[in-house]
A = this chain, B = another copy of it.
């Protein structure tokens, strides 16, 4: 893809890179740097039949499920803490309890290792034995195998994950598509970008080539299919060094998500009711600036 093509509108990018039925890996953890702008745009594009693979980033997953975009979710923890206490993911829970979506529960390390295998281009990877967990009874794709080098050492074999598309919100990209996630140790984000077949990144800002300064590049340009500038693209979740989590808006969402009707209203007001993420931010207010503390 020519460099100049990498920056475009989020809507166009979703149309191109996230067709119905895609397997989507959603980056971000708890209420930290979830790709909310991309998630909302997928909802606006009324995508259907998505198969999600999630880190513990329930808010994004809950909204995609509630909006009917999802047919399957692979996950290992959905929920998070705010200053209002533990946040259960109500649309997820309701959809699973009603049998509307397939809930492929996994184990955190199994998903990470499956992504490592996907990044390496190998079809499977062994992980240490965790027999005794009933998860192995509900995951018939996980197999038990002894080590060829020690018949007493049992391993669980996990198939590689190579999701169709990665959704990531990061700090900065340059015009070639080099992406910087400004956290002290973002290497696993690179691994997920390698595992995914297409990489869609929203960023706070795009700079000229050569202007990334001393920041180490997190994802090199040749792995990136599209970069879209979306200020506050992670809001209402936080972005390290940029802005704080909006616990109040999350509380509004959580109250709405208690019922299907409430969720539908939230959807109409905050997602379909906003033409894009800028309009959403106008509506909920800019997130509080990052405070490094005393």
Contact = CB atoms under 8 A, between A and B. Distances in A.
A177 interface: no
Interface stretch (A146-154, A238-246, A285-293): A146-154
Interface in A5-20: none
B126 A123 contact: yes
A148 B157 contact: yes
A207 interface: no
Interface string A144-178: 01011110010101010000000000000000000
B122 A149 contact: no
A130 interface: no
A124 interface: yes
Given A157-B148, A159-B149, A126 B124 contact: yes
Contacts of A123: 126, 147, 149-150, 153, 155
Contacts of A141: 149
Copies of this chain, complex-wide, total 2
A127 interface: yes
A149 B228 CA distance: 37
A250 interface: no
Nearest to A154: B123
Nearest to A125: B125
B145 A148 contact: yes
Nearest to A147: B123
A214 to B, nearest CB: 6
Nearest to A220: B185
A135 interface: no
A155 B113 contact: no
A190 B36 CA distance: 32
Contacts of A153: 123
B126 A149 contact: no
A131 interface: no
B155 A148 contact: no
A122 B155 contact: yes
Given A122-B127, A123-B149, A124-B155, 16 more contacts: A113-B120, A116-B116, A122-B125, A122-B126, A123-B150, A123-B153, A124-B126, A124-B147, A124-B148, A125-B125, A125-B126, A143-B148, A145-B148, A148-B157, A149-B159, A214-B214
20 contacts: A116-B116, A122-B127, A123-B126, A123-B149, A123-B150, A123-B153, A124-B126, A124-B148, A124-B149, A124-B155, A125-B125, A125-B126, A143-B148, A145-B148, A148-B159, A149-B159, A184-B216, A187-B187, A214-B214, A216-B216
